[in-house]
Amino acid sequence: MKVTEIWKTRDKPTISFELFPPRDEPAAEKLEKVIEELAVLRPDFVSVTFGAGGSTREGSYNLVKKLLREKGLETLAYFTCHGLGPEDITSVLDSYRDLGVENVLAARGDPPHQRPDFKPHPVSLPHASDLLAFIRPRYDFCLGAAGYPEGHIEATSKERDLEYLKLKVEKGADFIITNYFYDNRYFFDFLERCHRLDIQVPILPGVMPIYSVKMMENLAKLCGATITSEIRDGLAGLPEGDKEAITHFGIDFAISQCKGLLETGVPGLHIYTMDRAKSAVEIVNHLREAKLLG
């Protein structure tokens, strides 16, 4: 089912999870257990990332196939076009269509950091809006785009970044999933600015629980997310090196954040799991006990 149709048929906000393909056999075995734990939660859909420059092309396909065919989970396939030519783009999208994928999130992506010899195709598509324009007349996918409440890390301004987001919608995006943020005010401000620019498609907030201090710091630098003083002060008050305490702090913080989002009528929540289950399971169970999720 298309994501936009799911929202029309639900009387409660949706819940969805992001997964990325495993890099090796031990990671694959771990991910299998994670999928089993998340599947019990009956997510409305699960997304699968696509590595820079097609670096996880086979792994992404195999994971999408597993989720759809073996687990019976509605799956949103990410696709990034950076460096890929039209033939590669068509080949990947054809393979997803043939699997039965109905939802694709179209993004530009970044250069593959671990492949210094990578050479972009001479006629590769430079922007996500170009990819959306390529896909829309050729396929019947429900198309998503990425949004950045604090602005894309490469954007010259939030205003300019939002103009690019509007262009993505004009080129075919049916919905938006946002980058994560630790202060809901960034998201609410983003929504207001989107509405002023007449961006009317559903906007799904992305939520990133705190899994470890190191991961939090690294991801924030990579994604441009602001780590608030509330988080820093809260973590500073925990026993040094206590991983379990950090995990529980992250869960409690994410629950509070999700409640604040759900109270405003967001269409759902998209949790970035980092291929881990514990935090997502506790967050969703708590929200369902509070009757905030179906």
Average pLDDT over residues 73-84: 90
Q: What is the pLDDT of residue 81?
A: 84
Q: For the chain, give the percent of residues with pLDDT over 70.
A: 94
Q: What is the pLDDT of residues 236-279, one digit of tens each?
A: 999 988 999 999 999 999 999 999 999 999 999 999 999 999 99
**Catalytic member of 5, 18, 154, 289:** 18
Task: Check pLDDT > 80 for residue 82.
Answer: no
Ranking 111-120, 154-163, 200-209, 229-238 by mean pLDDT, the lowest is: 111-120
Ranking 81-95, 200-214, 239-253, 273-287 by mean pLDDT, the lowest is: 81-95
Q: What is the pLDDT of residue 53?
A: 53
Q: How confident is the model at residue 109 (pLDDT cuts 50, 70, 90)?
A: confident
Average pLDDT over residues 87-113: 89
CATH 3.20.20.220 fits 3-289, yes or no: yes
Q: For the chain, give the percent of residues with pLDDT over 90.
A: 86
Q: How confident is the model at residue 124 (pLDDT cuts 50, 70, 90)?
A: low
Averaged confidence pLDDT in the chain: 93
Average pLDDT over residues 9-27: 94
Average pLDDT over residues 86-97: 94
Q: Where are the domains of the chain?
A: 3-289
Average pLDDT over residues 154-163: 95
Task: Check pLDDT > 90 for residue 54.
Answer: no
Q: How confident is the model at residue 56 (pLDDT cuts 50, 70, 90)?
A: confident
Task: Check pLDDT > 70 for residue 114.
Answer: no
Of 85 and 94, more confident: 94
Task: Check pLDDT > 80 for residue 229.
Answer: yes
Task: Check pLDDT > 90 for residue 209.
Answer: yes
Residue 44 in tokens: 């409305």
Task: Check pLDDT > 60 for residue 198.
Answer: yes
**Annotation marks residue 18 as catalytic:** yes
